[in-house]
């Protein structure tokens, strides 16, 4: 699982099940309402931010086999 925060938003990338979850923590601090489908532009910008960070750290990506 990977996480990213930007302002009021939190993106969760899971390796199984629904792959991405997006929450507005100011409006939904309990993370009950997944905004991934209703805010596609925010989802895409956060996914780009997370992928850039993962690549900079050379972290294993969810769509790649585990090197271990």
**pLDDT confidence tier of residue 54, bands split at 50, 70 and 90:** confident
**Domain range for 18:** 2-57
The whole model's pTM is what? 0.82
> 66 in a domain, yes or no?
no
> 49 in a domain, yes or no?
yes
> Would you give the DSSP letter of residue 50?
H
Q: What is the mean pLDDT of residues 32-36?
A: 97
Q: What is the CATH number of the domain that holds 15?
A: 3.30.1120.10
Could you tell me the CA-to-CA distances from 45 to 30, 37, 68 in Å, in that order?
22, 14, 30
> 33 in a domain, yes or no?
yes
> Would you give the DSSP letter of residue 22?
E
For the record, the structure tokens of 49 come out as: 């931010």
> 11 in a domain, yes or no?
yes
> 64 in a domain, yes or no?
no
Could you tell me the CA-to-CA distances from 7 to 4, 25, 27, 49, 52 in Å, in that order?
10, 9, 12, 13, 17
Domain count of the chain?
1
Q: Is the pLDDT of residue 60 over 80?
A: no
């Amino acid at each position: 699982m990977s996480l990213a925060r930007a302002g009021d938003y939190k993106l969760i990338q899971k390796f199984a099940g629904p792959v991405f979850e997006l929450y507005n923590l100011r409006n939904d601090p309990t993370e009950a309402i997944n905004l991934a489908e209703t805010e596609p532009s925010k989802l895409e910008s956060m996914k780009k931010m997370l992928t850039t960070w993962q690549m900079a750290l050379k972290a294993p990506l969810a769509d790649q086999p585990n090197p271990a």
